[in-house]
């Protein structure tokens, strides 16, 4: 994890804990509206001001190149979610290797010194997952365009069918930031750790074992179910920092805890990781990308339902 991120998160944690102490009620007292903890999220005005800037690369992340072909943001290239997953792993959607990420970004002509702005058509879900992957391999400057294609058109932006011509680059993925990802063994070792909370971002039916998507249904013992969609507004953008803070702290997720997010394959988990880590500035959040596909299919996994 970079020094800047550690410093920023230390400040967020200190402020939250001091505010909580001053309130005397265990709740964080606020003197004014909260703002997002980082500049990871950008809006339409920010993006329009940088259209055509060669140092900024706009990337649509998704599963449908056909949708991209029918109309996309000017200057945007397309990156399939599959290229950020490792096809050699038996567990669906586990993160791609550094070499695989290097290949994917090189094919788009992306350089490490460029600002990469990710967006999608699905409530920032796929963009947040791609953001997590790029931050795992420590790309210096990654952003998410809040609301993606839907927000762009709602704000009066025009779409184009012209795909930009890009020359391939030689993109070098950075070393993995192991502090933002976790594994089955780490999860099991921390199930009874009072300093760690498991955040199950699946649907309530998945959490309760009514919707079974592996050999066994249920949830990691002690995990708290807060579906990823609670962070999303009707227009597909993220809720305000004030609303997000209220949602997660009232559920018990406070910045003094280590929080592990999980879902079925780590995609929804990455969305909540983005909320907690990048928007609220929680200092110790990990996404378990093996998630229920790995956990529910492992006969050694302790399961509650």
Q: Is the pLDDT of residue 211 over 60?
A: yes
CATH number of the domain within which 223 lies: 3.40.250.10
> Which residue range is the domain that position 205 belongs to?
179-295
Kindly state whether residue 238 falls inside one of the protein's structural domains.
yes
More confident residue, 88 or 110: 110
Dist. CA 274–CA 282, nearest whole Å: 10
Residue 281 is assigned to a structural domain of this protein:
yes
Q: Is the Cα dihedral 92, 94, 99, 103 positive or negative?
A: positive
- pLDDT tens-digit series, residues 3-42: 444 444 444 444 343 333 333 334 434 445 789 999 999 9
Q: Is 184 among the domain residues?
A: yes
**Tens-place pLDDT, residues 275-294:** 999 999 999 999 999 999 99
Residues known to be catalytic:
263
Whether 92 is in a domain gets the answer no
Q: Look at residue 266 and tell me if it is in a domain.
A: yes
Mean residue pLDDT of the chain comes to 91
Residue 262 has pLDDT above 70, yes or no: yes
* Percent of the chain residues past pLDDT 90, beyond the cut: 86
Question: pLDDT at position 26, please?
Answer: 40
Query: Measured between alpha carbons, how far is 36 from 245 in angstroms, rounded to an integer?
Result: 10
Domains in the chain, number: 1
Tell me, yes or no, whether 119 lies in a domain: no
In a domain, 191, yes or no: yes
Residue for token digits 């004030």? 242
Is 253 among the domain residues?
yes
Instruction: With cut-offs at 50, 70 and 90, classify the pLDDT of residue 93.
Output: confident
Run of H or E including 173 = none
Q: What is the pTM of this model?
A: 0.90
For 13, 167, 224, 230, the CA distances from 172, given in Å and listed in that order, are 33, 16, 38, 36
């Amino acid at each position: 994890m970079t020094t800047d991120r550690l410093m920023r998160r230390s400040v967020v944690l200190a402020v939250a804990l001091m505010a909580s102490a001053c309130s005397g009620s265990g709740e964080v007292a606020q003197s004014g509206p909260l703002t997002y903890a980082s500049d990871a999220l950008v809006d339409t005005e920010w993006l329009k001001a940088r259209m055509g800037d060669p140092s900024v690369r706009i990337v649509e992340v998704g599963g449908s190149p056909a949708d991209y072909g029918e109309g996309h943001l000017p200057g945007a290239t397309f990156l399939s979610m599959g290229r950020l997953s490792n096809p050699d792993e038996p567990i669906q959607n586990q993160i791609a290797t550094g070499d695989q990420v290097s290949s994917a970004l090189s094919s788009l002509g992306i350089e490490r010194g460029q600002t990469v702005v990710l967006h999608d058509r699905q409530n920032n879900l796929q963009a947040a997952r791609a953001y997590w992957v790029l931050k795992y391999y420590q790309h210096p400057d990654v952003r998410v365009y809040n609301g993606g294609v839907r927000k762009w058109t709602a704000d009066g932006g025009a779409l184009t069918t012209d795909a930009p011509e890009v020359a391939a680059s030689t993109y070098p993925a950075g070393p993995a930031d192991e502090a933002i990802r976790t594994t089955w063994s780490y999860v099991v070792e921390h199930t009874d750790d009072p300093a760690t909370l498991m955040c199950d971002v699946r649907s309530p039916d998945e959490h309760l074992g009514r919707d079974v998507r592996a050999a066994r249904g249920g949830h990691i013992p002690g995990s708290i179910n807060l579906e990823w969609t609670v962070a999303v507004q009707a227009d597909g953008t993220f809720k305000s920092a004030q609303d997000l803070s209220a949602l997660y702290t009232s559920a018990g997720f406070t910045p003094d805890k280590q929080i592990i997010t999980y879902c079925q394959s780590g995609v929804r988990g990455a969305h909540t990781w983005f909320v907690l880590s990048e928007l609220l500035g929680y200092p110790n959040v990990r996404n378990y990308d093996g998630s229920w596909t790995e956990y529910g299919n492992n006969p050694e996994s302790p399961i509650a339902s």
